[in-house]
């Protein structure tokens, strides 16, 4: 079973040379730490920066240079700042190659819910609805089950949707799963996790074909 850093590490393998990548808040943010050194990747943050670098050194943080999670950041050579309209032009215009975001629920048809629990929690969708409606390559990073132990991979989402039929791949603490026309398809098992454990933790229909390899991290 993986921890959050393990999920981030596995997702980092989805990041290819020459990709512009948008990382959501939470586990996705950690992905930047595990991207291979020998490829060129640029991180976009929808609040208006391309070419994000690591966190600043203590004492060098700048209130005017933050990411979408409101964290202080730095920029790398070749970076640029821009307004929100141009930022979402990058996203809506499909110039960003890969979007990695968290979710509360994902359905076997690719629907995703991650912005609202009616009557309880309403933080808002931020840029997520634009991202999932536009991106061609969306990977969800999340725990396989919620705190109550219930599956987050469902036949149908029960929470208000963020986007419809958009998720392509899911990486959880238990597995790597592809969203296909026929529902969830198990691609990889987390180290030490059995196929049966994954099936048990997945409410939606899970296709299991042949031998399921263990993730290479």
Partner 1 sequence: MISKKVANVSEALEGIKDNMTLMLGGFGLSGIPENSISKLVELNVKGLTCISNNAGVDNFGLGLLLHKKQIDKMVSSYVGENAEFERQMLSGELEVELIPQGTLAERCRAAQAGFPAIYTPAGFGTEVAEGKETREFDGKMYVLEHAFKADFAFVKAWKGDAAGNLIFKGTARNFNPVMCGAAKITVAEVEELVPVGELDPNQIHIPGIFVQRIFEGKNYEKRIEQRTVRPKL
Site for partner 1 in 105-164 (CB under 8 A): 111, 115-116, 119, 122-130, 133-134, 160-164
Give 42 or 178: the residue with its C-beta nearer to partner 1: 42
How far lies 70's CA from each of 81, 96, 175, in Å? Answer: 15, 20, 30
Of 69, 151, 155, 197, the residue at the interface with partner 1 (CB under 8 A) is 69
Residue nearer to partner 1 on the CB measure, 100 or 215: 100
Among 23, 27, 31, 91, binds partner 1 (CB under 8 A): 91
Q: Which residue, among 175, 173, 166, has the nearest Cα to 195 in the 3D structure?
A: 175
Minimum gap (Å) between residue 111 Cβ and partner 1: 8
Q: What is the DSSP string of 22-33?
A: EE-SSHHHHHGG
* 46 in catalytic set: yes
Hey, which residues between 39 and 58 contact partner 1 (CB under 8 A)? Answer: 40-42, 44-51, 54-58
Q: Does 95 bind partner 1 (CB under 8 A)?
A: yes
Measured distance CA(74)–CA(79) in Å, rounded: 10
Within residues 177-216, the interface with partner 1 by CB under 8 A covers none
Q: How many residues bind partner 1 (CB under 8 A)?
A: 77
Residue 87 Cβ, how far from partner 1 at the closest point, in Å? 8
Cα→Cα distances 39→13, 18, 106, Å: 11, 7, 30
CB-neighbour burial class of residue 110 (10 A; exposed 0-12, middle 13-18, buried 19+): buried
Q: CB–CB of 186/177 below 8 Å?
A: yes
Among 1, 26, 34, 72, binds partner 1 (CB under 8 A): 72
∠ CA 181-106-92, nearest 5°, is 80
Does an H or E element contain 49, and which? Answer: strand 49-52
Q: How far is the CB of 135 from partner 1 (least distance, A)?
A: 10
Smallest distance from partner 1 to CB 91, Å: 6
> Closest distance between partner 1 and the C-beta of residue 141, in Å?
19
Q: Which of 14, 40, 42, 46 is catalytic?
A: 46
Among 94, 146, 158, 180, binds partner 1 (CB under 8 A): 94
Q: 177, 185 in Cβ contact below 8 A?
A: yes
Q: How many residues does the chain have?
A: 217
The set of catalytic residues is 46
């Amino acid at each position: 079973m993986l921890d959050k850093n393990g999920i981030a590490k596995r997702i980092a393998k989805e990041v290819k040379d020459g990709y512009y990548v948008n990382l959501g808040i939470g586990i996705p943010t950690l992905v930047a730490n595990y991207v291979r050194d020998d490829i060129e990747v640029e991180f976009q943050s929808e609040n208006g920066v391309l070419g994000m670098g690591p966190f600043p050194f203590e004492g060098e943080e700048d209130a005017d240079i933050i990411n979408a999670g409101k964290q202080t950041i730095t920029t790398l050579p070749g970076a640029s700042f821009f307004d929100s309209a141009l930022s979402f032009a990058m996203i809506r215009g499909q110039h960003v190659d890969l979007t990695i975001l968290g979710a509360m629920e994902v359905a076997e048809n690719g629907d995703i819910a991650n912005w609202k629990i009616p009557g309880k929690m309403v933080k808002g969708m931020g840029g997520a609805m634009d991202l999932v409606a536009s991106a061609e390559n969306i990977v969800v990073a999340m725990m396989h089950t919620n705190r109550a132990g219930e599956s987050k991979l469902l036949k149908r989402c029960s929470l208000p949707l963020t986007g419809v039929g958009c998720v392509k791949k899911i990486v959880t603490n238990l597995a790597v799963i592809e969203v296909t026309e026929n529902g969830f398809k198990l691609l990889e098992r987390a180290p030490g996790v059995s196929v049966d454990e994954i099936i048990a933790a997945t409410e939606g229909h899970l296709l299991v074909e042949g031998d399921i390899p263990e993730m290479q991290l």
